[in-house]
């Protein structure tokens, strides 16, 4: 992430020079913010601010299941989703309670079914539980709390993922650049016109 | 409390630094007039304050706010963390109240340039008939000016600011002086084709963005982030385009963090000073002036006049007519979205472009209002495309697809860029139930009495929402989408009053001092050296975003004021 960002900054700064702009103060601010973010993960081991070791392992497994790495792109773990959730939980008691409670619910539900915590359970047991709580149609006195928690975990994991460099590449977003002229490639236009029949 | 009085007397004190105040400062300083500008927020430093070009991952919270408040419905960043709005619906220590049974929301930006740092920048001239609504259909009130009187000032404002567009010859959307617009994006071409089948014109947008170098400002670089503030000043903001350059003339003193409390008058009823609170010290100051221009935004302007009471003016200053605060309007808003299958999997390209739509639909039934079944019109705005992902961008997709894993990833990727949004922006006819007044029971943290709002949409606005819904559904269906029509009544679908942030009309102009506060030059009937230069003087709120007209009207008022000063009349 940081390497890409630096390259990108250099590109932007180079651009600002050609346009004769003064982006320096702003870009310098970005560099500081990124340096701070890097320090947090120094040595490659992240120390969670809110979650204990078991909760952290559970959260990581959950994020990995929600947005896994596949042949197309890396997943939520590489995109820093657990760290994002931990950071916000550390600043907000409501979010913190939502996750400690939700992760404990996962363990309790798994124990009832398989006599194991969520992370200890086999992958197929984990997905069997998610197959229940990932859909509103399964709402029931037994499952509704889990469904609600999963909605939170899914949308926050998606936020962390798609706002990361990895997620942005996964989508194929190509903007946030300065260009001299706005152009629409003919192949994109033809693709849509043909399919629309317009 | 000791009141600090300034020794120097300014030719003009301008209250508020948005589009009206900025234009005043620009035009008056250019004519050699010494101006002091009061802004209730801090100074702006674009290089430091704007978050243009930042990726969400450049802040650890990704834009959700340090405390994650985005997720808990207490989001302080209505337009997102990266927006240059510097304000919001609620400001700490500066409340407003809403009368029981009413709803109204008031967006305030406290920063040099006000809301022009982040606004939408759609720049539509009002039509000739917009100035004479009563003559046209017996509803509302005619303005004391005609289109032909304001047209030369539209020319000046457009030339100076720089507006994109093309000459179309459509009466509801008068042509102006335009710079070359960028071409439509892929989804916008689909909208154009679908609209054409319905005989709805869809034309290049008129946007306060320059596409060629203008007055020392470089042309747009098409990053799509106008709302974050533009570090190259390639779009219009009063701060960057008017005030910061005017400061180089040495003829304007900007006093930031200055919350105007009251206009002070002498025995003859003329304004001699503006009393304001220095927010950094909480001390009251008085700045002396020969003339004053109030441009705080329609509601803030009405508040200042209503709070400027004296034994001569117990109902507030410039308010012998009693109309100050009355006839508050906002734009009618309604939106519909649909996923368009033809756009799924469309080859990726950088479609950021200008920070807003490249094409739009002006009102097309201005000569067939009866057929439309509504007395007034609306225009249609378009959204969609491959926007930069932000927190919240895919909450809708998560709720729609549910599930998890590789399949969720693929569904989101497949849907990305294929959703098209249509937003209606329609005219509200001023009514007697919509107004603001001073709440006698509440003061802000500076001790200044606050506004209490009353607001009601009338049947005209509610009917318009039905028309919008039918039209938007037809367009989206024409593109192959399957929009959901809602069975809810229009009362539930129309925008919350105030939320389109086009509030105006509270200090209306007119020829008759009994029914209006200002004359045709936005000069108070009651107070010769008091002028208003925001949207408060507007007699109607046509379906054209007000900022360009604020600039044109302020320009005209500035020239009139300068001439009256030269003649010794004020």
Tens digits of per-residue pLDDT, A92-102? 999 999 999 99
**Strand duo B252-255 + B203-204: pairing:** unpaired
**Burial bucket for residue B41 (CB in 10 Å: 0-12, 13-18, 19+):** buried
Is A47 at the interface with chain B, CB within 8 A? no
pLDDT given at position B2: 66
d(CA B540, CA B142): 8
How close does chain B come to A70, measured CA to CA in Å?
A: 7
**A196–B221: do the CB atoms touch at under 8 Å?**
no
**Strand duo B419-426 + B271-278: pairing:** unpaired
pLDDT given at position B4: 76
Q: What is the CA radius of gyration of chain B?
A: 23
Q: How far apart are the first and last CA of chain B?
A: 32
| Cβ neighbours, 10 Å, residue A162 | 30
pLDDT exceeds 70 at position A25: no
From chain B, the residues in CB contact with A150 under 8 A are 404
pLDDT exceeds 90 at position A158: yes
d(CA A187, CA B346): 9
**A184–B406: do the CB atoms touch at under 8 Å?**
no
pLDDT given at position B242: 98
**B347–A25: do the CB atoms touch at under 8 Å?**
no
| Cβ-Cβ contacts under 8 Å for B567 (sequence gap 6 or more) | none
pLDDT exceeds 90 at position B355: yes
**Strand duo B35-38 + B3-15: pairing:** parallel
| B64 → closest Cβ in A36, A88, A182 | A88
Per-residue pLDDT band at B1 (split at 50, 70, 90):
low
pTM of the complete model beyond 0.90 = yes
d(CA B445, CA B232): 36
pLDDT exceeds 60 at position B233: yes
> Can you tell me the ipTM of this complex?
0.93
Q: Where does residue B297 fall: left (phi above 0), alpha (psi -120 to 50 degrees), or beta otherwise?
A: left
**A172–B354: do the CB atoms touch at under 8 Å?**
no
Q: What are the DSSP calls for A97-165, one per residue?
A: HHHHHHHHHHHHHHHHHHSS-TTTS-HHHHHHHHHHHT-GGG--TTTHHHHHHHHHHHHHHHHHHHTSH
d(CA B544, CA B44): 28
d(CA B119, CA B551): 14
Per-residue pLDDT band at B3 (split at 50, 70, 90):
confident
pLDDT exceeds 70 at position A53: yes
Strand partners, B333: B425
pLDDT exceeds 50 at position A2: no
pLDDT given at position B370: 97
Per-residue pLDDT band at A24 (split at 50, 70, 90):
very low
From chain B, the residues in CB contact with A164 under 8 A are 57
Quick one: tokens of B53? 């070009």
User: What digits encode the pLDDT tens for the residues B189-218?
Assistant: 999 999 999 999 999 999 999 999 999 999
| Cβ neighbours, 10 Å, residue A80 | 25
| Cβ-Cβ contacts under 8 Å for B339 (sequence gap 6 or more) | B415, B418, B419, B420, B481, B482
Per-residue pLDDT band at A26 (split at 50, 70, 90):
very low
| Cβ-Cβ contacts under 8 Å for B18 (sequence gap 6 or more) | B113, B114, B115, B116, B238, B295, B297, B534, B550
From chain A, the residues in CB contact with B387 under 8 A are 173
d(CA B77, CA B107): 11
Whether the Cβ atoms of residue B40 and residue B297 lie closer than 8 Å to each other: no
Whether the Cβ atoms of residue B76 and residue B57 lie closer than 8 Å to each other: no
B225 → chain A, closest CA residue: A176
d(CA B305, CA B297): 12
d(CA B503, CA B548): 14
Closest to B165 measured CA to CA, from B471, B541, B548: B548
d(CA B459, CA B438): 27
User: What digits encode the pLDDT tens for the residues B455-474?
Assistant: 999 999 999 999 999 999 99
**B54–A159: do the CB atoms touch at under 8 Å?**
no
Per-residue pLDDT band at B486 (split at 50, 70, 90):
confident
pLDDT exceeds 60 at position A7: no
**Strand duo B35-38 + B530-532: pairing:** unpaired
- Tokens 């567009």 found at: B165
User: What digits encode the pLDDT tens for the residues B291-324?
Assistant: 999 999 999 999 999 999 999 999 999 999 999 9
pLDDT exceeds 90 at position B248: yes
Per-chain mean pLDDT for chain B: 97
What number of C-beta contacts closer than 8 Å exist between A and B?
237
Angle between the N-to-C axes of helices B547-567 and B19-30, in degrees from 0 to 180, rounded to the nearest 10:
40
A71 → chain B, closest CA residue: B406
pLDDT exceeds 80 at position B340: yes
From chain A, the residues in CB contact with B69 under 8 A are 92
Helix (H, G, I), strand (E, B) or coil at B147: helix
User: 3-state secondary structure string, B329-376?
Assistant: ECCEEEEEEEECHHHCCCCCCCCCECCCCCEEECCCCCCCHHHHCCCC
The number of C-alpha atoms within 13 Å of B279 and in the hemisphere containing its C-beta is 20
Return the residue in B44, B65, B67, B68 with the most chain A beta carbons within 10 A, the one to mutate for interface testing.
B68
Q: What is the CA radius of gyration of chain A?
A: 21
Is A175 at the interface with chain B, CB within 8 A? yes
Strand partners, B109: B87
In Å, how far are A46, A48, A126, A146, B9 from A53, measured between CA atoms? Answer: 11, 8, 19, 21, 68
Per-residue pLDDT band at A17 (split at 50, 70, 90):
very low
**A159–B62: do the CB atoms touch at under 8 Å?**
yes
| Cβ neighbours, 10 Å, residue B131 | 21
Whether the Cβ atoms of residue B26 and residue B116 lie closer than 8 Å to each other: no
Q: Span A56-60, mean pLDDT?
A: 98
User: What digits encode the pLDDT tens for the residues B403-428?
Assistant: 999 999 999 999 999 999 999 999 99
pLDDT given at position B7: 75
pLDDT exceeds 60 at position B251: yes
pLDDT exceeds 70 at position B393: yes
Chain A, 15-44: which have a CB under 8 Å from a chain B CB?
A: 15, 19-26, 29-30, 33-34, 36-37, 40
pLDDT exceeds 60 at position A43: no
pLDDT given at position B72: 87
Q: For the stretch A118-154, what's the b/e string if a residue is b when 16 or more beta carbons lie within 10 angstroms of its beta carbon?
A: bbbbeeeebeebbebbbeeeeeeeebeebbbbbbebb
pLDDT given at position B171: 98
Whether the Cβ atoms of residue B165 and residue B125 lie closer than 8 Å to each other: no
d(CA B234, CA B162): 9
∠B355-B358-B364 over CA atoms, to 5°?
Answer: 130
Q: Span B476-501, mean pLDDT?
A: 95
């Amino acid at each position: 992430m940081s390497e890409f960002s630096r390259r990108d900054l250099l590109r932007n700064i180079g651009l600002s020079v050609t346009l004769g702009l003064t982006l320096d103060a702003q870009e310098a601010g970005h560099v500081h913010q990124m340096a701070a973010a890097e320090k947090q993960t120094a040595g490659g081991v992240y120390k969670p601010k809110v979650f204990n070791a078991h909760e952290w392992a559970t959260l990581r497994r959950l994020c990995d299941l929600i947005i896994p790495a596949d042949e197309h792109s890396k997943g939520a773990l590489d995109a820093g989703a657990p760290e994002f959730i931990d950071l916000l939980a550390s600043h907000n008691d409501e979010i913190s309670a939502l996750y400690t409670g939700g992760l404990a619910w996962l363990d309790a539900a798994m124990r009832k079914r398989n006599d194991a915590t969520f992370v200890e359970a086999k992958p197929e047991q984990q997905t069997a539980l998610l197959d229940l709580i990932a859909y509103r149609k399964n709402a029931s006195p037994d499952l509704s709390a889990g469904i609600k928690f999963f909605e939170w975990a899914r949308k926050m994991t998606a936020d962390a993922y798609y706002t990361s460099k990895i997620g942005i590449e996964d989508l194929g977003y190509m903007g946030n650049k300065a260009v001299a002229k706005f152009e629409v490639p003919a192949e994109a236009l033809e693709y849509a016109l043909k399919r629309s029949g317009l | 409390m000791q009141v600090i009085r300034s020794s120097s007397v300014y030719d003009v004190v301008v209250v508020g630094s948005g589009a009206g105040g900025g234009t005043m400062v620009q035009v008056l300083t250019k004519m050699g007039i010494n101006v002091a500008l009061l802004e209730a927020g801090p100074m702006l430093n674009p290089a430091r304050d704007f978050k243009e070009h930042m990726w969400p991952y450049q802040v650890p919270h990704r834009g959700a706010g340090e405390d994650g408040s985005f997720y808990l419905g207490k989001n302080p960043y209505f337009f997102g963390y990266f927006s240059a709005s510097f304000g919001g619906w609620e400001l700490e220590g500066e409340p407003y109240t809403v009368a029981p049974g009413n709803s109204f929301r008031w967006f305030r930006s406290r920063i040099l340039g006000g809301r022009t740092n982040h606004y939408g920048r759609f720049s539509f001239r009002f039509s000739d008939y917009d100035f004479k609504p009563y003559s046209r259909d017996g509803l509302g009130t005619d303005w004391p000016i005609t289109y032909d009187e304001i047209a030369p000032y539209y020319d000046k404002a457009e030339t100076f600011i720089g507006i994109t567009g093309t000459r179309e010859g459509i009466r509801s959307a008068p042509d102006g002086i335009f710079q070359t617009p960028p071409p439509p994006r892929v989804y916008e071409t689909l909208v154009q084709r679908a609209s054409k089948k319905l005989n709805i014109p869809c034309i290049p947008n008129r946007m306060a963005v320059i596409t060629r170098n203008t007055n020392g400002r470089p042309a747009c670089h098409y990053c799509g982030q106008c709302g974050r503030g533009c570090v190259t000043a390639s779009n219009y903001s009063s701060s960057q385009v008017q005030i910061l350059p005017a400061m180089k003339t040495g003829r304007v003193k900007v006093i930031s963090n200055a919350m105007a409390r009251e206009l002070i008058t002498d025995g003859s009823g003329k304004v001699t000073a503006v009393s304001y609170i220095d927010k950094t010290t909480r001390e009251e100051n008085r700045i002396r002036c020969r003339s004053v221009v109030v441009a705080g935004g329609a509601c803030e302007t009405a508040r200042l006049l209503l709070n400027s009471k004296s034994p001569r003016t117990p109902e507030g200053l410039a308010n012998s007519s009693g109309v100050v605060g009355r006839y508050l309007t906002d734009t009618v808003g309604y939106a519909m979205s649909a996923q368009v299958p033809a756009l799924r999997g469309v080859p990726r390209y950088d479609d950021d472009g200008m920070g807003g739509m490249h094409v739009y639909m002006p009102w097309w039934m201005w000569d067939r209002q009866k057929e439309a079944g509504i007395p007034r019109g609306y225009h249609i705005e378009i959204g969609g495309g491959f926007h930069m992902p932000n927190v919240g961008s895919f909450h809708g997709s998560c709720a729609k697809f549910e599930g998890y894993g590789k399949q969720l990833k693929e569904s989101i990727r497949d849907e990305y860029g294929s959703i098209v949004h249509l937003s209606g922006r329609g005219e509200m006819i001023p009514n007697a139930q919509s107004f603001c007044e001073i709440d006698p029971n509440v003061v802000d943290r500076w001790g200044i009495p606050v506004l209490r709002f009353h607001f009601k949409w009338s049947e005209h606005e509610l009917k318009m929402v039905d028309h919008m819904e039918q039209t938007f559904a037809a367009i989206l269906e024409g593109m192959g989408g399957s929009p959901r029509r809602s069975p809810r009544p229009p009362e539930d679908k129309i925008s919350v009053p105030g939320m389109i942030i086009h509030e105006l009309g509270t200090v209306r102009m007119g020829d008759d001092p009994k029914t209006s506060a200002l004359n045709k030059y936005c000069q108070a009937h009651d107070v010769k050296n008091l002028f208003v230069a925001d949207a408060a003087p507007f007699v109607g709120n046509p379906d054209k975003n007000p900022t360009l007209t604020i600039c044109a009207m302020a320009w005209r008022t500035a020239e009139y004021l300068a001439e009256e000063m030269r003649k010794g009349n004020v």
